[in-house]
Structure 1
Amino acid sequence: MRAERLSATTTPPSRALLIIVVILAIGMLIPVGYVIEATARIGVDELATLLLRPRVGELLGNTVLILVLGVPITILLGVGSAWLVERTDLPGRRFFAILTVAPLAIPAFVSSYGWASVVPSIQGLGGGLLVATLAYYPLVYLPALATLRGLNPSLEESARSLGLKERAVLLRVVLPQLRLAILGGGLIVALHLLSEYGAFAFIRFDTFTTAIVVAYQSTFAGPSAASLGIVLALLSVIVLGIEATARGRARYAYVGSGNARPAQLVKLGKFTPLAILALVTIATLATVVPMVSVIRWSLATKPEMLDGLWRALVDTSLLSLGGAIGAIVVALPVAWLATRHPSRLSRVLEGGYSIASSLPAIIVALALVTVTLNVAPGLYQTAATVTAAYVIIFLPRALVTLRAGLAQVPESLEEAARALGTPPLLARLRVTIPLLFPAIAAAGALVALGAANELTATLLLAPTGTRTLATQFWSAASSIDYAGAAPYAISLVLLSIPAVALLFAQTRGRTR
């Protein structure tokens, strides 16, 4: 198998592709435009007064701290777990590979609900870090695991033959090859931390998002909420800029059928018990503790509490599927532009797609409410509007996954098809798209997972009579009816399992 480090292509994108991406980007930026327009109505003096309050400084400190501490912790947990189960002689590697991805099936607010019912005193930054990192580290673990399974083992063998120790091989050979996976997973985690509401609300940890939701609930589209929203959008721009700068312009792809042989496993030796203890501890904290709490409360559930469960399951499934399909359709053009034609323009457009996703779902929802009522009243409180909200909120999940998938498909294969007389569009459909199917499936599963667990936007935008598992769970849990919330929590977990299984299956045998 031959490895290639591909430099950015100089071929300009087609005009049609640019037009499509620009139009979609304008649609994606509707929530940002809503926040800017609402803030402009406030005026400079009042805006300065609102933003210079001590409360804003406290929220800024909490939000920045949860990012600065939370993202590195999730990267450490995700990459460390992936390396242990894929590159070492850890006993029961297959079992731990599955166990480590299990937390992805538990929504963050369900995990927070579980911890809050077990440890009522959990709160603040410590509680937020505990819940968020345990809920989101699989978003780094999965792409890291997939990349490790696709690495050419000859690179590591060459390094060892030159006398490098295992630690040096890991730091100088393996980790650089994981850069795209780490940055992509870290970006998704960061955007989730910026927009997380339910998990932090349960444990009383105040961030910009929780404060905005409270402000909107009390004053609807008041100036305080709008001013906080613009700060949150600026934080998102900073996060996106850091990720884009760190990612650079290089892409990696391998031409060949895959790894010719399995990689040489690192012997843990005396560190084996410590590695097992670490993975078991992480799994216990992330999965066992919240699920034991949910199951305990479910034993107190009365039959009448199950009314509407089936309807909520059907509505959740249909809306999640629509959101997944929509996100793939919207993300694929910009992923293609960013990967096949990287430039300053493509980075700007790609960033525009993700800015809105950092805003809390309630702002996205209120923006769509305003637009539909003023421009297209017939779309107000319809499944189409809910789907649009899901696409905006969860687009980074699809975008990062598709971008990584395209980066691993060599352009030379498509060029060879063209050289044989196949038209460009047909060459893409016959060669590139089939190779991209695993990434498309993974992207759809990730978006469907998020959509099934989405709460605030669904409450505002769903058609009258629509019930989802997340909204029914929140209605009961926020009323301290933990027994009534338990069946919906369990259903959310069960509904998430197939998507998580699909995501995990995509990492098996995945090569570059």
Structure 2
Amino acid sequence: METGTSVTKDSRTRPVPRLRPTGRVPWALGLPAAVAAVFALLPLGYLCVRALEHGPGYAWDIVTTERAAMLLGRSIGLAATVVAACLVLGVSLAWLTTRTSLPWARGWAVLVTLPLAVPSYVAAFAWLSAAPELAGFTGSALSLTLVSFPYVHLPVAAALRRTDPAQEEAARSLGLGPVRTFWRVTLPQLRPAAAGGAVLVALYVLSDFGAVSLMRYDTFTRGIYTSYRASFDRTPAAALSVVLVVLTVVLVAAEARTRGRAGYARTGTGTARPADPAPLGKWLVPALSWCAAVTAAAVAFPLATLGYWLAVGDSATWDPARLTETATSTLAVAAGGAALTTVLALPVGVIAARHRGRAAHLLEQAAYAGHALPGITIALSLVFFAVRYAHPLYQELPLLVGAYAVLFLPVAVAATRAAVLQSPPGLEDVARSLGRGPWRVLREVTVPLAAPGVAAGAALTFVVCMKELPATLLLRPTGMDTLATRLWTETGTGSYAAAAPYAAALILLAAIPSYLLGRHRT
């Protein structure tokens, strides 16, 4: 372990253990992080057992069928279309709200973050009820694009705020126009943020179940769900899930390669100054129209559609008591999922930020395993685990909360890691020099310093837990509904007026933390 020196009150100098990046992980952090990693890897273990249950040949025959090839092509095509559209929307809106003289830029920045509160199946419900002819690829791509582009917009906007404008000014002084400067200087600096957001969008699309199900468009997730419902043999569903995992690994590896070894940080002396807002001039009206059009399609249209169906509904479709009970259940289970996820993510995020080496790397990567799997696959793995080894948990609330933790552990780990990296490690060194152990340092120094970032990660986890659908459909206790499952049930039968109250309540509850996250980032 790295050592340093500290001067105590009696002026003696002695070596002090440091928490600077090192390969040695204290057991007080390593043990709970290992528990979180094993928990996250449980679904992958299930896939290995189930997919090979009847031998490799049987699994190979399943994944090489014509239907599997069709599902693969459709999933890749849908993901590619949505990613391309999200890059256009996310980068353009980030530029307009951070680098130009756009009127009310901070307000637009918050508005274009609000689609995070709209679940994909709510967007699909809105478009399908208004234009049934959109069912299929077009409706799926449109719905997923309008709820996914903030995953690109948020990191790109943050990167634009941190980017030193000196390079752009130098390019302009050498004769490059605004467009060429953007393509040759600004855009390359945004590549890591845009690529990271694009991967999140692709993973979101590949794992989406709600939108494609409502739009009746077959992708891998819908194929897995159909296979699960059609037969008692779970091997076909597991084999198809393995293909989805491989596709996800390829995507993540490709994103890592796009980063290369280029440096993107300022290395000169002094500090970077904020960029001067670029005047829009004759482009002011088109810029405002673009922001208004995106906001209208992504936020105003779903709300207006819900308002219409709420007005059409009557006492036969409204059930306030059931709506209140369902909303309460949703908040309770989402809060439980967010709390468990944050607790599991805390030691992993601290290790990822403060330690280096193979052990730290493996723990961090293991925590991201759930991100490679759709919710339905994780639900199947936990059903298998409960039936075989923990039967009292089957169709009980702890199993559903555990599924949320596996699914959204990467969200909380990323937020915790970023928050810990931004807190000064010197204060932790001082605490160690005063005789505090790793656990007390974590509790008394690291967590309080990183608390705002950890809280933001918990809020985002709470939002995504409320919106989760496939795992909730399979794992919720008998007789319990969430807003998501009730909306899906009503929409599946074409009862749009009956579904509208649940969709409106879900958006309202999810909008509050989403709004706070948007304001925090502007």
Q: TM-score range by the shorter chain?
A: 0.7 to 0.9
Residue equivalent to 2:40: 28
Determine whether 1:84 maps to 2:96.
yes
- The whole-number CA distance in structure 1 between the counterparts of 2:263 and 2:499 is 46
Q: What are the residue-to-residue correspondences of 1:111-510 with 2, within 5 Å? A: 111-149=123-161, 151=162, 155-157=164-166, 159-160=168-169, 163=173, 166=178, 170=182, 178=190, 181-246=193-258, 262-304=274-316, 305-306=318-319, 307-343=321-357, 345-411=359-425, 413-414=426-427, 417=430, 421=434, 423=436, 425=438, 428-429=442-443, 431-508=445-522
Instruction: Give the corresponding residue for 1:14.
Output: 25
Please report the RMSD computed on the Cα atoms of aligned residues, expressed in angstroms: 3.0
Q: Hey, what's the Cα distance between the residues in 1 that align with 2:336 and 2:287?
A: 41
| 1:60-95 per-position Cα deviation (integer Å, ceiling 9, x unaligned) | 111122233322432332232122112210122133
Runs of 5+ in structure 1 lacking a partner?
A: 1-8
Q: What corresponds to 1:60 in structure 2?
A: 72
* Structure-to-structure mapping, 1:38-53, within 5 angstroms: 38-53=50-65
TM-score, structure 1 normalization: 0.87
Deviation at 1:40, TM superposition (A): 0.7
2-structure distance, mates of 1:366, 1:415: 42
Instruction: Give the Å deviation of 1:211.
Output: 0.5
Give yes or no for contact 2:25–2:355 (8 Å, CA) kept in 1.
Answer: no
State how far apart, in whole Å, the 1-side matches of 2:420 and 2:87 are: 23
- Distance in 2 separating the partners of 1:267 and 1:117: 41
In structure 2, relative to structure 1, the CA distance for the partners of 1:481 and 1:318 (3 Å cut) is: same
- Which consecutive unaligned segments of at least 5 residues does structure 2 have? 1-19
- 1:107-143 superposed Cα distances (whole Å, 9 cap, x missing partner): 1100001111111111333332211111111123233
Q: Is the 8 A contact 1:253 1:410 kept in 2?
A: no
Deviates more, 1:418-427 or 1:278-287: 418-427
CA 1:464–1:394 in structure 2 vs 1: closer, same or farther (change >3 Å)? same
Structure 1 residues 436 and 462: alpha-carbon distance in aligned structure 2, compared to 1, 3 A threshold: same
User: 1:184: Cα distance to partner?
Assistant: 4.1
Equivalent residue letter for 2:403: A
Paired residue type of 1:190: A
Larger radius of gyration between Structure 1 and Structure 2 = 2
Residue 276 to residue 142, structure 1, CA distance change in 2 (3 Å)? same
Structure 1 range deviating more: 492-501 or 99-108: 99-108
Partner of 1:4: none
Gap change, CA 1:419 and 1:454, over 3 Å in 2: closer
Aligned length: 494
CA–CA distance in structure 2, aligned partners of residues 498 and 115 of structure 1: 23
CA contact (8 A) 2:165 2:273 kept: no
CA deviation after TM superposition for structure 1 residue 340, in Å: 2.8
Which stretch of structure 1 is more off in the superposition, 454-463 or 238-247? 238-247
> CA offset at residue 491 of structure 1?
0.4
Query: In structure 2, how many angstroms separate the alpha carbons of the residues matched to 1:220 and 1:276?
Result: 54
| Deviation per residue, 1:194-220 (Å, 9 max, x gap) | 110111111122111111011111114
Give the conservation status (yes or no) of the 8 Å contact 1:253–1:409: no
